[in-house]
Homo-oligomer: A and B are copies of this chain.
């Protein structure tokens, strides 16, 4: 499908031609989240028939694997060991267990939301702000994850591109193209509409279960191709998630490195969910032959953060 891919010059041009800067006013920080209306949320809730919830997140492991950039930490502050035999005077204050957790959630392993402040282009973040507003000490002083404190609730649509192509998974280095999305729409009888949270399955996480974790910068990764950007804007997608880190690797556009991230976050103000687990939700969809559901994404209320680890819940 390389023939249908836009040139590097075209993709760089998307920052101007496929842009939402100013669309919701010069003060806007929400970007495409604006597309989710109360009516959209009500309609999403109406999709619930079976009362079955399904995670779209991967487990967070403290193991070091090839996909680890920074090791997640978990240390117990207090545990239960020996609490059955400890002398009574020590027991009273020690009847609980707790832990320290620490992580760099961005990367290749943890399911997380990216805010528009996560990437820059030409010194700018979404809506034309200076990237200097994401400071070393204060963090994301604008376009931070706290903007989503009331959660993101909308219709979730799963497009299973691997299944539509008839493969177990897309090969590393392959991009998801607009034709893939439209073929998946046809195959599943659903159409992506304004305000939807679009989840796209490449089978990448299924492959991980078979072949083990890899480092995408070394082994490559499937992912959304920058060619999708005009399509996503045209359809009014409010949030994008996939079972990849959300850029084809190696990059088809060396001058940009991460063209999908840059076009989505900087140009469109389109919030992303990286490294999802779409296996459970795909199974739930297949079983019902229904590719839409209510989806709730509830980021932690981290201060001035460029994202948050999340556990998006699909409800059928």
Taking beta carbons and an 8 Å cutoff, which residues of A are in contact with B?
37-42, 45-46, 48-55, 57-62, 64, 68, 70-71, 73-86, 92-107, 111, 117-125, 130-137, 139-140, 146, 149-151, 153, 255, 257-258, 261-262, 294, 296, 298-307, 309-313, 315
The verdict on A76 contacting B73 (CB below 8 Å), with A48-B42, A118-B98 known, is no
Copies of this chain, whole number: 4
| A and B contact pairs by CB, cutoff 8 A, 19 listed | A37-B51, A41-B51, A42-B49, A42-B50, A55-B151, A57-B301, A74-B302, A76-B137, A79-B139, A80-B132, A84-B122, A84-B124, A86-B132, A95-B257, A96-B120, A98-B105, A101-B105, A298-B312, A300-B309
Q: Find chain B residues with CB under 8 A from A42 CB.
A: 48-51
The verdict on A303 contacting B78 (CB below 8 Å), with A73-B70, A83-B123, A100-B70 known, is no
Instruction: Judge whether A99 and B298 touch: CB under 8 Å.
Output: no
Closest to A106 in B: B98
Instruction: Judge whether B70 and A70 touch: CB under 8 Å.
Output: no
Q: Find chain B residues with CB under 8 A from A122 CB.
A: 84
The verdict on A130 contacting B84 (CB below 8 Å), with A76-B139, A306-B99 known, is yes
Q: Find chain B residues with CB under 8 A from A60 CB.
A: 300-303
